[in-house]
Amino acid sequence: MAPAKNQGSEKCGRQKLWPAFLVALIAFGGTAHSGNEKKTDALLFESTGITRSDIEKVAKKESLDLFDVYVLAVSGTERMAIESEYSLQADARRRQALGLFLPRVSLKATKTLTEVDRTTSPAQRSNVSLYARQNLLTGLDEYASFRGSAA
């Protein structure tokens, strides 16, 4: 009966971890979004000279002058979103080129649990393998593409 009590406490402990897991997931998800938003804000400022605070100030105004109309037009333009997406895609291609250049390493472990056959040793029931691969001949091509994506 004692193992059942232990299993219940493990189940209860797992249930207590779910809220913490969800909070961590939301927190890390929010930081990735804010990074993209910062890049968009930098691109907006670089190309137009307008900041996010300018857009927020103009949105609250009742009467608009010519600059305010320009700010509202720039904030609603589709071209800024497209350029921001191009910037994000270029960053993704750079990370992909770096990933192609780096070696690939994987670890695989298996353990067979059998209740009937107890004659085999534990060493025969478990297996661990390490796999590593580095492209030697094509590695220079990946390095060239990585350097090319930086330009």
> What are the pLDDT digits (tens) for 16-42?
665 665 555 555 544 444 566 777 777
Question: pTM for the full model?
Answer: 0.38
Domain ranges of the chain: 1-76
Q: Output the pLDDT for position 123.
A: 55
> What are the pLDDT digits (tens) for 74-133?
777 777 778 778 888 888 888 887 777 778 888 888 887 766 666 666 556 778 888 887
CB 122 within 8 Å of CB 108: no
Which residue has 């191009």 as its token pair?
Answer: 86
